[in-house]
Amino acid sequence: MIKIVKESFDLENEFQKISSNKNGAYSFFLGTVRSDLSFSNTEIKGIFLECYEELALSQLEKIRLQALKKWDLSECIIIHRVGRLNLGEKIVLVITSSSHRSNSIEACEYVIDSLKIDVAFWKFHILDNEEKEIVYQKSKDSEKMLKWREIIN
């Protein structure tokens, strides 16, 4: 299941959607808005997430299907929020389920790492005066993805 939403989500509700006696393991990744400094060294107030929704949905589905197949998952949920988010708010949730823990843990990491590099979302810092400052991609994220490309291909 994949969702791109403005509103927040409930972890227990999402877990119940894929809870099954067939699973022995669930892995969760929850990304939240952390306090950070702008380029001018001032505390940010929050973030704004822009999205090309049609493309992002197809990219997320591709990543989800790769994870399901590669790690033999029973399910994989990806929820990503868009719009304005304050400090501490939830941004993204990944839940993977499988018979054994190693599969769900590794798949969960793959999904969030891929999402950061291959899905059409863009982050902006919201500054004190409500102006938006573009957040640039980190080279460590793209370098990490090289490892996954060897594993998945």
Binding site for other proteins (CB under 8 A): 31, 49-52, 54-56, 58, 80, 91-92, 112, 115-123, 132, 134-137, 142
Rounded least distance, CB 121 to other proteins, Å: 3
Nearest of 38, 32, 34 to residue 128 by alpha carbon: 38
Rounded least distance, CB 151 to other proteins, Å: 19
User: Contact at 8 Å (CB) between 69 and 81?
Assistant: no
Bridge partners of residue 90, in order along the sequence = 32
- Which residues fall within 8 angstroms of residue 139, CB to CB, at 6 or more apart? none
**Residue 60 half-sphere exposure, CB side, CA atoms within 13 Å?**
22
**Closest CB to other proteins among residues 52, 72:** 52
Rounded least distance, CB 46 to other proteins, Å: 15
**Closest CB to other proteins among residues 9, 23:** 9
